[in-house]
């Protein structure tokens, strides 16, 4: 910062962006709340948590991987518009897009749906762009990005069909055939990792998402809302009102990078319990298989295994839903990634004042693998 004034300028602009986000949501009637960083169950996302031990309680606690479940409790308690800007912790890789601790804003609004959150995402991002640049056309790493509203809205199914020619609506329920069609359509462009991910997909919904991530996501340069995700990968989202096996969920992509995730919230306590129990069961089955496979491996391999942590059910959240949560929508938006976009920064470490670094051959260096 001392030697490079432009580095310090990034953090001045970051402060302006965070201030503009807060002003925007509060001007629309949202109330800022604080939720626990230490939690009894790591919920609200599918991610590996950091685990710590509370001596007095004699139990494990987890650094939060999302603020979602506690913010929804506020809706149950009678607050209709709440948000939190806070740090999230995920015990996963370091890359140009990922840091083990990062900052998000999560917001929830009663008596609304995911269409409302699309409008909110546009409002927040455009106001921040105007605050920093004074215009809605920006340059990011040599690509001209137009933030003029409205942004493109398209379903995941249609985007996959448009890019690959695969129409998942026509594949029926035969997962084996669907995998064969997918591998043939994507052809030699797949690397071994992508082939393995496709072959290991446990359902058509998971397969659709894999194809989207491999073939479509990197090409979404201009702002695009990707709509209607499969129910298998959306355990907290409300079932779609007119499309079976899908949910009312969107993700916002700009420059091939996910910026926000939102949905009409699932409020049915029985459906929610069944989905979360299924999620726990699937994870623990993978965990058992991974433990078996690594039984003879060295300790470093076990520590790096993504399935080695235990997932528990958040019964307190499910009990809160049983009391009754109003129809609602919610959204999480990555502030670090928004700052990257609006400051033309190539890596997340460029927008975090004190990023986590790793040791390579005796030299401290930022992780660069993506």
| Structural domains present in the chain | 5-151+222-267+322-365 (3.30.930.10), 157-217 (no CATH)
Residues 264 and 246: beta-carbon distance below 8 Å: no
CB contact at 8 A, 299 and 336: no
Task: Give the whole-angstrom CA distance, residue 142 versus residue 146.
Answer: 13
Question: What is residue 295's predicted lDDT score, i.e. its pLDDT?
Answer: 56
Q: How far apart are alpha carbons 112 and 92 in whole angstroms?
A: 33
- Positive or negative, the CA dihedral 318, 320, 324, 330 is negative
Structure confidence at residue 47 (pLDDT): 85
Closest CA to 77 of 103, 46, 108, 117: 108
Whether the model clears a pTM of 0.75, i.e. scores above it, the answer is yes
Contact assessment for residue 16 and residue 132, using Cβ atoms and an 8 Å cutoff: yes
DSSP for 165-199? ---GGGSTT-HHHHHHHHHHHHGGG--HHHHHHHH
- Phi, psi values for residue 3, rounded to 5°: -85, -25
CA angle 179, 369, 215 (to 5 degrees): 30
Q: Are strands 143-146 and 249-254 parallel, antiparallel or unpaired?
A: unpaired
In the structure encoding, which two tokens stand for residue 195, read together? 């082939």
Range list of β-strands (E), 42-125 = 51-54, 59-63, 81-89, 101-110
Cis amide linkage into residue 150, ω under 30° from 0:
yes
The tens place of each residue's pLDDT in the chain, 370 residues long, gives 888 899 999 999 999 999 999 999 999 999 999 999 999 988 888 889 999 999 999 999 999 999 999 999 999 999 999 999 999 999 988 888 889 999 999 999 999 999 999 999 999 999 999 999 999 999 999 999 999 999 999 999 999 999 999 999 998 889 999 999 999 999 877 899 999 999 999 999 999 999 999 999 999 999 999 999 999 999 999 999 999 999 999 999 999 999 999 999 999 999 999 999 988 888 788 777 766 665 555 555 445 555 556 677 889 999 999 999 999 999 999 999 999 999 999 999 999 999 887 655 444 454 444 4
Residue 41: the pLDDT is 87
Here the tokens at position 222 are: 């201009």
The helix/strand/coil state of 286 is helix
pLDDT value at residue 126: 98
């Amino acid at each position: 910062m001392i030697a490079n004034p432009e580095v310090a300028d990034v953090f001045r602009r970051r402060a302006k962006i965070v201030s503009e986000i807060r002003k925007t949501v509060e001007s629309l009637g949202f109330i800022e709340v604080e939720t626990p960083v230490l939690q009894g169950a790591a919920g609200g996302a599918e991610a590996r948590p950091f685990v710590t031990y509370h001596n007095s309680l004699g139990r494990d606690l987890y650094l939060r991987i999302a603020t979602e479940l506690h913010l929804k409790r506020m809706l149950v308690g009678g607050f209709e518009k709440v948000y939190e800007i806070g740090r999230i912790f995920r015990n996963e890789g370091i890359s140009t897009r990922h840091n083990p601790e990062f900052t998000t804003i999560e917001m929830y609004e009663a008596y609304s749906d995911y269409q409302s959150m699309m409008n909110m995402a546009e409002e927040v991002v455009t106001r921040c762009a105007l605050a920093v640049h004074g215009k809605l056309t920006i340059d990011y790493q040599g690509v001209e990005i137009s933030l003029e509203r409205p942004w493109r809205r398209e379903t995941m199914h249609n985007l996959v069909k448009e890019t690959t020619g695969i129409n998942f609506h026509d594949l029926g329920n035969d997962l084996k055939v669907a995998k064969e069609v997918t591998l043939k359509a994507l052809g030699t462009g797949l690397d071994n990792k992508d082939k393995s991910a496709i072959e290991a997909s446990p359902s058509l919904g998971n397969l659709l998402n894999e194809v989207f991530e491999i073939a479509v996501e990197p090409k979404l340069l201009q702002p695009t809302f990707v709509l209607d995700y499969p129910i298998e990968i959306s355990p907290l989202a409300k079932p779609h009102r007119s499309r079976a096996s899908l949910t009312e969920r969107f993700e916002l992509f700009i420059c091939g990078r996910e910026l926000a995730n939102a949905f009409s919230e699932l409020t049915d306590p029985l459906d929610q319990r069944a989905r979360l129990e299924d999620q726990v069961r699937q994870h623990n089955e993978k965990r058992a298989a991974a433990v078996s496979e690594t039984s003879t491996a060295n300790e470093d391999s076990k520590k790096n295994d993504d399935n080695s942590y235990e997932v528990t059910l958040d019964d307190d959240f499910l009990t809160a839903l049983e009391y009754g949560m109003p129809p609602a929508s919610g959204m999480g938006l990555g502030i670090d990634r928004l700052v990257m976009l609006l400051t033309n920064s190539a890596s997340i470490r460029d927008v975090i004042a004190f990023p986590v670094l790793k040791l390579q051959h005796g030299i401290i260096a930022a992780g660069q693998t993506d």
